[in-house]
Structure 1
Amino acid sequence: MVKSPDDHLNKPDMPLPRDASAVYRGGLFILALLACLYVAKEAVLPLLLAFFLKLLVQPGMKLMKHLRVPRLIAALVAVAVLLGIVFGLMHLLSSPASEWAHRLPQGLPRLQQRVSVISKPIDTLTKLFKHAQSAVVGNVHQQPSSSGMDVKQILFSTARHFVSGFVWTFLMLFFLLLAGDTFLRRLVEVMPTFGDKRQVIDIAQQVESDISIYLITITIMNSLVGIVTGLGMWLLGLPDPLLWGVTAFVLNYVPIFGPLTGMVMFLAVGMLSLDPLWKAFTPMALYICVHVTEGEAVTPMILARRFTLNPVLVMASLLFWDWMWGIPGAVLAVPLLAIFKIVCERVRPLGALGHFIQGERRRVWEP
């Protein structure tokens, strides 16, 4: 029997909540939960990042389990591989990144000369912001030494938080891999009815399957984006193509904001490095072509059957989690929204909300 495209409109199992007090209590619970997540982000973020890294390496863990590798050894191997990739890339990119950091201040006059058309509006906006700041804050003169100390303290604090979060993330990842399905089994055991047990298993399996495939697919596609971008920058004669390939790989994990940042970055790099002026726009043009091909055709074609999220809600999720947790929140925004959709679709009182989050299923190659 062929199903009509409008069959989903007639689903009887999506009841709308009718108890106003229940909706009110649920709203208060969500607000309290979000407030706790905001306050406790330094503790919650490493745990969430470790959870998603676990889903990313889950196929490798299953393969090692099939090969009868002990779980302790498999967990150590998985963590060691991830750490090796991270530290290897940091070692390869540290030298070119530092060179560009020293080169950028020297190239600012050249960059200003090439964008002289928009320099006057920028200067006007800068003066306007300075006047507004002085009007609101007042003319407060700071000592140069204290300003320098503030910058050093900010840099030290940022580095300390990054290292602490990095260490805790990989420690949590190791223990999550070591625990395996222990938490799921304990959760199933405490469920009161057989139906509840089946529902918990169904949600857990769907989250693991869908999010794992999403993360692996996105990682593979981002790697291809990085490779193609690096090769393209090498063909254009841009210095350090490996650096720009890895930059494109990392930025592609953040939908919308990442590619926009990449466009500005590649435009600036082209302006600093390539002559004549028309050629300076080619790195940005190449990056846009690669991103549009991947983001609008290839990746949606692969993930269309599993992930159909409302694009407006995806954008709202990006803005919200970026405000909550910064860049890590923007990276986790889409997986978190996908998990929320999976849970809503399998919990009957939340079925209408899950249906609302779902986007339109589109055919990629049709207008």
Structure 2
Amino acid sequence: MENNYSVERSLRVLVLISLFATAYFARDLILPVLLGFLMALTLSPLSRALFRIGVPHTAAAILLVSGTGLVILLIAAGSAGTIAVWSDELPRMGSEIRGKLSTMSEAVEEVRSATDEVEKLSVDPEAAPEVVVKQPGLLDSAFDTMTRIGATLAVTFILALFLLSSGDLFYRKLVQAFPTLEGKKRALQTVYSIEKQVSRYLLTITIINIALGVCLWLYLTALGMPNAYVWGVAAALLNFLPYLGGFIGTLLVGAFSIVTFDTLGYALLAPIGYQVLTTLEGQFITPWLIGRRLAMNTVAVFLTVVFWGWLWGIPGALVAVPFLVVFKVICENFEPLKTVAIFLSGDDTEEVRSNKAEPLASE
């Protein structure tokens, strides 16, 4: 009996490792599919609202997906020129930052010089010549990146369009899969609970991040920061990355404000305002709007962001928290996974234990 349990546990570990290995190597396939489902969940409350006023599911799906795509296209087109100019001026900006932060730059330069001297001493003059592999050109790399991004967005939008236009098709298929009336009721109740909570969270977080970007845009415009709308877009995107996103945004805004403004004291107003806005959003606004029901364990959130960032890079870090929320809600509705849901929840776990939806696994 004990041997069978050991074998079963080993098989579970192997299956888990295989899943993560598959996720790593199949990132280009899994990522757009995951993004498509997340987009469909985010837009599903709006799709249902349009359906209630007489708009067919297909028309609502086309309207919402095309509208989202148009907004993203306009934002990208409006920001591309500014980002291209910034990329060309990065060396000059770096020199200006070093000039205004001369004290810190001198200390960093001393450390770098000492490091170079140590590396020179450690080099063996009789060592074999180093073989340098020629890297692909900048144009080729940019073309490959744009192709990958375009393919990902295409799959994401098409899948979201199909999911939204299908309406209640998946629910009808789920009902048909259960033989008893009680099983059909429990399945529908569980799935509706999952969809309601996840879609509400994703839509709420998206609206909050957009509002944060608008507030930062207005604040930086008032300070006189050029191209402040680009920083608003960046803040909205970075805010999908908990903890790290606000820190990264503060550093970037601080660096560019030092280059832009003449005095260091006035330049610091930009990163300070960025940090104040993100702190208010993270500590008060978001917890108040999403409520305790979807509160997350901060340690679990941080570890999830780090893990998916390591596995998939920046896209993985951005989708880590929405993915964790989906997983938490699913665990809440399946009796064998209730312990995992309690661990992933915030301080108040009573709402997890008293979830109204009957667990589907108990059927």
Where do residues 105-120 of structure 1 align in structure 2 (5 Å cutoff)? Answer: 105-120=91-106
Where do residues 150-169 of structure 1 align in structure 2 (5 Å cutoff)? Answer: 150-169=137-156
Amino acid at match of 2:170: F
Query: In 1, Cα distance between the equivalents of 2:87 and 2:172?
Result: 50
Q: Measure how far apart 1:152 and its partner are.
A: 3.5
Where do residues 97-246 of structure 1 align in structure 2 (5 Å cutoff)? Answer: 97-123=83-109, 126=112, 128=115, 140=130, 142=132, 146-147=134-135, 149-191=136-178, 194=181, 196-246=183-233
Instruction: Tell me if the contact between 1:304 and 1:361 (Cα under 8 Å) persists in the aligned partners.
Output: no
Query: In 1, Cα distance between the equivalents of 2:108 and 2:130?
Result: 24
Unmatched segments (≥5 aa) in structure 1: 1-17, 363-367
The C-alpha deviation readout for 1:33-88, integer Å capped at 9, x for no partner, is 22222221111111110111111111221122112222222221111101111111
Where do residues 36-75 of structure 1 align in structure 2 (5 Å cutoff)? Answer: 36-75=22-61
Question: Secondary structure of 1:306's match?
Answer: helix
Query: In 2, Cα distance between the equivalents of 1:108 and 1:343?
Result: 47
C-alpha RMSD of the superposition = 2.8
Where do residues 302-313 of structure 1 align in structure 2 (5 Å cutoff)? Answer: 302-313=289-300
Instruction: Tell me if the contact between 2:178 and 2:184 (Cα under 8 Å) persists in the aligned partners.
Output: yes
Q: Is 2:305 aligned against 1:300?
A: no
Instruction: Tell me if the contact between 1:79 and 1:170 (Cα under 8 Å) persists in the aligned partners.
Output: yes
Q: Measure how far apart 1:162 and its partner are.
A: 0.9
Query: In 2, Cα distance between the equivalents of 1:117 and 1:22?
Result: 61
In structure 2, do the counterparts of structure 1 residues 275 and 305 end up closer, same or farther at CA, with 3 Å as the change threshold?
same
Instruction: Tell me if the contact between 1:222 and 1:250 (Cα under 8 Å) persists in the aligned partners.
Output: yes
Query: In 1, Cα distance between the equivalents of 2:139 and 2:55?
Result: 47
Q: Measure how far apart 1:89 and its partner are.
A: 1.1
> Which of 323, 327, 349 lines up with 1:336 in the alignment?
323
Q: Measure how far apart 1:284 and its partner are.
A: 0.4
Question: Secondary structure of 1:180's match?
Answer: coil
The C-alpha deviation readout for 1:303-346, integer Å capped at 9, x for no partner, is 22321221101101001111122222112211221222222222
Aligned equivalent of 1:77 = 63
Query: In 2, Cα distance between the equivalents of 1:299 and 1:70?
Result: 32
> Which of 243, 266, 272 lines up with 1:256 in the alignment?
243
Matched-pair identity in %: 28
Q: Measure how far apart 1:245 and its partner are.
A: 1.4
TM-score for both structures, normalised by structure 2: 0.85
Q: Measure how far apart 1:193 and its partner are.
A: 5.1
